[in-house]
Copies of this chain bind each other. A is one copy, B any other.
């Protein structure tokens, strides 16, 4: 029996590969998903804003580099902020906006497929366990906002 670390790394690897393949069919790579999600929500964010709003922690240089590839791929354009010359704002192209629903669907289906053999209870347990691990590792500053004690 493998240790927990190994199981998690293997599951992660397979899921990332499957995600990348699924999104590639829509002209988007796995590393671009965080930026897309942030800009789908709020277009015209700066790299720093994308980094801080992203669903999971990512550094600004990574955003910048990925944005450059996305620009080359025709997924977004850069525009200097007229009011503050330091800022660069990222705007999605129509192509990137059109990919929104298909990609969300594809990811939803992937998640569904991956957990297809789990019971609802097992899915709950999995969520609970991962959440506890995240909290234990210091990622407690998450979305739930219930630290009252």
Please list the residues of chain A having a beta carbon within 8 angstroms of any beta carbon in chain B.
Answer: 1-16, 18-19, 55-57, 107, 110-111, 113-118, 122-123, 125-139, 142-144
In the docked arrangement, what's the CA distance between A134 and B10, Å? 7
Which one of B9, B117, B138 lies within 8 Å of A136 (CB-CB)?
B117
Which one of B113, B116, B137 lies within 8 Å of A15 (CB-CB)?
B137
Which one of B2, B10, B13, B134 lies within 8 Å of A7 (CB-CB)?
B134
Contact B143 A2 (CB under 8 A): yes
In the docked arrangement, what's the CA distance between A122 and B125, Å? 7
In the docked arrangement, what's the CA distance between A127 and B122, Å? 11
Enumerate 22 A-B pairs (CB-CB under 8 Å) in ascending A order: A1-B127, A2-B55, A2-B143, A3-B111, A6-B55, A7-B130, A7-B131, A8-B12, A9-B16, A11-B130, A13-B57, A14-B139, A15-B137, A113-B136, A114-B133, A114-B136, A115-B129, A117-B133, A118-B132, A118-B133, A122-B132, A126-B129
Which one of B111, B115, B125 lies within 8 Å of A126 (CB-CB)?
B125
Contact A125 B118 (CB under 8 A): no
